[in-house]
Structure 1
Amino acid sequence: MIELRRIGPDEFVEVLDTVLTIYMAAMRPPPDQLSGRLGIMRNHATYPDFICVLAENPEIIGFAYGFHGMAGQWWHDIVARSLADQSGGAATEEWFGDALEIAEIHVLPGHQGKGVGRRLIHTICEGRPERTAVLSTHDAPTVARRLYRNIGFVDLMTEFAFPGSRESYAIAGTRLPLPPRGRA
């Protein structure tokens, strides 16, 4: 049976090697990006109201983490500025003025498709004080993108490219609290 467990920044840093291994298995990034990803994840643990949820069976098989987004954070600034350029300040304030920014959600490939990702998202959003939750995902018809839509996330921007990246992303958001664990 898969159990979910909330942890804070200190324990997250303690399990960072395991988390990075899950990230690598799920995303298969180029090896030269791993040291940078490790630094980014460690830095994220210092952000306000950081929360991580681990999926364990009994070893860690998945994780999701996020934090309160705010000006001065790289992802927040890049995405909020682009949304303001595209849709105006009111839309940016609506979605990013009080948002849980979900930075990572990953499940080991052998455990995908069994509801673990859905449970991680619901658990990380549960009880959060923010008005919205936002995230980025590959702008393609992936299983993850379908899951986010099914939960209630809507596209805020598509065909989005982060500086230095050639990949296309969708920026998505949903209002909190999430609807019950059925279909949105």
Structure 2
Amino acid sequence: MIEFRGAGPAEFVEQLETVIDIYTAAMNPPEEQITGRKTIMRNHGTYPHFQCYFAELHDSSRAIHDPGITTVGFAYGFRGAPGQWWHDVVLRALAAQSGDEVAHAWLGHAFELAEVHVHPDYQGKGIGRAMIQTLCAGRGERSALLSTHDRPTAARHLYASLGFTDLLSRFVFPGGYEEYAIVGRPLPLT
């Protein structure tokens, strides 16, 4: 049985090795990016209104002294704010494309879903969808935003099915080379 357990910044940092293992299995990044990714994730834990959920598989057939809990996914986000790299880069790009009013309407009081990952062995079972719904439930922000690879992926399909629409497409972050879509939707998530 899969259960979702909330975690604040301190526990998130304590579980960073597990988080990185799932991220690496799901995304298969180049080895040289792992250390930088850990630093970015650790810093995200300091952002305002940070919240994380772990998807945990509970195996009740295990002995009492071995609870049989395996973390199979995680999702986290926080309130975006000026001075945060992703927030500022996306705000500028959206303002350049659609105007300041549109950019501030989306990013002025937004929940930024920074990472949503499920171990490949457990993908396609609704875990990612449930984590996003759990993470967004009860949030006070007026919108939710995230970036995802701009190509037809299972993640892209999932976000669209949850009502996220493209705000920017074929977007390349400074210093990067891959194309991303910046997607958003009003909150609450229904």
> Does TM, normalized by the shorter one, top 0.5?
yes
Secondary structure at 1:59's aligned position in 2?
A: strand
| Equivalent residue, structure 1, for 2:121 | 110
Please give the alpha-carbon distance, in whole angstroms, between the structure 2 residues aligned to 1:91 and 1:30: 35
1-structure distance, mates of 2:186, 2:94: 17
> Corresponding residue for 1:157?
168
Query: What's the offset of the Cα at 1:70?
Result: 0.5
Structure 1: 5+ residue stretches without partners? 180-184
2:18 maps to: 18
CA distance in 1, matches of 2:140, 2:79: 9
Structure 1 distance, partners of 2:115, 2:102, is 24
Which stretches of structure 1, 4 residues or more, deviate above 4 A after TM superposition? Answer: none
Which residue in the other structure is 2:8 paired with? 8
In the TM superposition, what is the alpha-carbon distance from 1:167 to its structure 2 partner? 0.2
Identity, in percent, stands at 59
Instruction: Decide which structure has the larger Cα Rg and report it.
Output: 2
Pair 1:66 & 2:48 matched: no
Aligned to 1:120, the other structure's residue is in SS state: helix
Partner of 2:181: 170
- Cα shift at 1:93: 1.2
Unaligned runs of 5+ in 2: 58-68
Q: SS of 2:178's equivalent?
A: coil
C-alpha displacement of 1:164: 1.1
C-alpha distance in 2, partners of 1:24/1:9?
20
| RMSD across aligned positions (CA) | 0.4
Task: State how far apart, in whole Å, the 2-side matches of 1:88 and 1:70 are.
Answer: 18
**Residue of structure 1 in register with 2:138 after alignment:** 127
Which amino acid is the alignment partner of residue 33 of structure 1?
Q
- Kindly state the Cα deviation for residue 111 of structure 1 after the two structures are TM-superposed: 0.3
> Which whole-Å deviations, capped at 9, do the CAs of 1:91-139 have from their partners, x for residues lacking one?
1111100000000000000100000000000000000000000000000
Rounded to whole Å, the distance in 1 between the matches of 2:133 and 2:101 is 27
1:90: how far off? 1.0
Aligned length: 179
Taking structure 1 as the reference length, the TM-score comes to 0.97
Counterpart Cα distance in 2 of 1:121 and 1:6: 12
Equivalent position amino acid for 1:169 in 2? Y
